[in-house]
Amino acid sequence: MSVDMAIKVLDQSLGKIVLIKLKGGKVIRGSLQGFDQHMNLSLDTAEEVSEDGKSNALGTLIVRGDNIIMISPPPS
Amino acid sequence: MSVDMAIKVLDQSLGKIVLIKLKGGKVIRGSLQGFDQHMNLSLDTAEEVSEDGKSNALGTLIVRGDNIIMISPPPS
Amino acid sequence: MSVDMAIKVLDQSLGKIVLIKLKGGKVIRGSLQGFDQHMNLSLDTAEEVSEDGKSNALGTLIVRGDNIIMISPPPS
Amino acid sequence: MSVDMAIKVLDQSLGKIVLIKLKGGKVIRGSLQGFDQHMNLSLDTAEEVSEDGKSNALGTLIVRGDNIIMISPPPS
Amino acid sequence: MSVDMAIKVLDQSLGKIVLIKLKGGKVIRGSLQGFDQHMNLSLDTAEEVSEDGKSNALGTLIVRGDNIIMISPPPS
Amino acid sequence: MSVDMAIKVLDQSLGKIVLIKLKGGKVIRGSLQGFDQHMNLSLDTAEEVSEDGKSNALGTLIVRGDNIIMISPPPS
Amino acid sequence: MSVDMAIKVLDQSLGKIVLIKLKGGKVIRGSLQGFDQHMNLSLDTAEEVSEDGKSNALGTLIVRGDNIIMISPPPS
């Protein structure tokens, strides 16, 4: 209920692997390096995960927040 | 008619199971852990519910508010 | 021509049954419990109405305003 | 070229029948009862007009402005 | 490069016939009567022009600016 | 990294031929006469370029910035 | 977690080759010359990369930020 709920969860996920579902169906996994108030994310060792479980290495990435549906932080 | 109608209903649902319908047809169920003024939601023990009633565990999730059509708080 | 036209109409509909048409074709009916300046609505005893006239009970609902095409307040 | 061009035209149409074309193809006709700066409209004795000229009574309506493509005010 | 580039061009087109291409493919032609900072346009003797060159009279119109792709002012 | 990067590039292109790709696939070519902070463009001797290389003269045009994907300024 | 995360990563990529994925599926590669706070990008020696690995030279480009899904800065 705090204004900075998303920021707190993202902050706790820095340096950890997050899973990101994008509009249009793409799924990206990578190590969260940074984010901003638009939910723009910076990822390291990112990879695109396809439905059959295969992955395609993307390296370092900036993902624009307005394409994001859901972010799964790592299990705590 | 209050400006913070959604905030009040979400606040009363903290820690309880909510059902969320997203644009594109996805349905998510989970325990509401937090939210902000954009209706971004933080869920625990979330699962995606498919039309045939099966569910797919997603764990902890941040859902961006601009993908949400409807939120069903728990029955009071 | 007043800035708060929608607010006035919604305010007069509080506690009454409204019919809501959403982008994508969904139609929702329910008792209006609250709303805010984004046209986010809180409904009670809501149900989804399908084209063949059948309805599917949804209980309490928050509907995000940006999904709404039209709202029919109750006949006065 | 005035900032309130739309407001002036809508203001002159109050109490008169307007025709509204919505995104997605719906056409609505009704008596304009009010509007606001988002072009949200309040209509009375509204009806949905289909392409074959038939109409379906909708009664009183709030139409969200962001769904509107065009508004035809009554001939002057 | 001026902030009010569009306003200047529209201002010079007042009272003249403009051609407007809308998202979704509709083409509208009419006499420009007014506009505002959202590029909302007010047209007189408007008509919808179909691809085969036929036109369908629409009379007076308000066109919401966010539906507009391009406006052709009259040849100078 | 300057806030007015786009403005600088557009400013240097004034009076020159630019190529514009729009959402939905349209490609427009014309002489850039003006622009504003929304990337609304004013073009002269504009033409729509189809995939087979043919072009269709459009004359003077205002293009709304929110339809634009890419702008190619002239080779320097 | 800094507000200017994207700006920092883009700033470090100035003069280097970046890969950009756009809504709708286009992929653009080019030398990053500038950017602004909307993630509008200015590229040099840009080319469109198709799925079969072929590329189509585009020269200098302004890409509007709201079309961008992801940006891959160069490997560090």
pLDDT in tens, F8-52: 889 999 999 999 999 989 999 999 999 988 899 999 999 999 888
- The domain locations on chain G are 5-72
Would you call A70 helix, strand, or coil by DSSP?
strand
- The dihedral built from the CA positions of residue A7, A12, A14 and A16, taken in this order, carries a sign that is negative
State the pLDDT confidence band at A32, using cuts at 50, 70 and 90: very high
Question: At which residue do the structure tokens 């606040």 appear?
Answer: B11
What pLDDT, on a 0 to 100 scale, did the predictor assign at position B48?
A: 94
Instruction: Flag whether pLDDT at G47 surpasses 70.
Output: yes
Burial status of residue D30 (CB atoms within 10 A of its CB: 0-12, 13-18, 19 or more): buried
Q: Which pLDDT tens digit goes with each residue over G12-34?
A: 999 999 999 999 889 999 999 99
Q: What is the mean pLDDT of each run of 10 residues along chain C (76 residues)?
A: 70 94 94 91 94 87 95 81
Q: Residue B2 and residue C34: Cβ atoms within 8 Å?
A: yes
Would you call E30 helix, strand, or coil by DSSP?
strand
What pLDDT, on a 0 to 100 scale, did the predictor assign at position C4?
A: 67
Q: Which pLDDT tens digit goes with each residue over D38-63?
A: 899 999 999 999 888 788 999 999 99
Shortest CA gap D1–chain E (Å): 5
* HSE-CB for A17 with a 13 A CA cutoff: 7
- Per-residue b or e along F59-69, where b marks 16 or more CB atoms closer than 10 Å to that residue's CB: bbbbbbbbbbb
CA distance B43 to B13: 11
Shortest CA gap E66–chain F (Å): 9
Q: Residue F62 and residue E2: Cβ atoms within 8 Å?
A: no
Q: H/E element holding D17?
A: strand D17-22
Instruction: Flag whether pLDDT at D5 surpasses 90.
Output: no
- The dihedral built from the CA positions of residue F53, G63, F42 and F66, taken in this order, carries a sign that is positive
Question: At which residue do the structure tokens 């307005």 appear?
Answer: A66
Interface of E with F in 28-67 (CB under 8 A): 39, 65-66
What top-level class would CATH report for the domain D5-72?
A: mainly beta
- Cβ-contact D72, D52 below 8 angstroms: no
Q: Which pLDDT tens digit goes with each residue over B11-27?
A: 999 999 999 999 988 99
A6, A69, A73 member nearest B60 (Cβ) = A73
Q: What is the mean pLDDT of residues E19-24?
A: 95
**Would an 8 Å CB–CB cutoff place A73 in contact with chain B?**
yes
Q: Among D63, D28, D7, which Cα is nearest to E42's?
A: D7
List the Cα angle C12/C18/C22 in 5-degree steps: 125
B69, C56, G59 from C50: Cα distances, Å: 17, 8, 52
Chains D and G touch (3+ CB pairs under 8 A): no
Give the nearest chain A residue to B48 (CA atoms).
Answer: A70
Q: Looking at this protein, which amino acid is placed at residue B54?
A: K
Higher pLDDT, D1 or B59: B59
Higher pLDDT, E18 or E8: E18
Dihedral of the CA atoms A9, A14, A19, A22 (nearest 10)?
80
Give the nearest chain F residue to G61 (CA atoms).
Answer: F72
Q: Looking at this protein, which amino acid is placed at residue A56?
A: N
Is the complex ipTM more than 0.85? Answer: yes
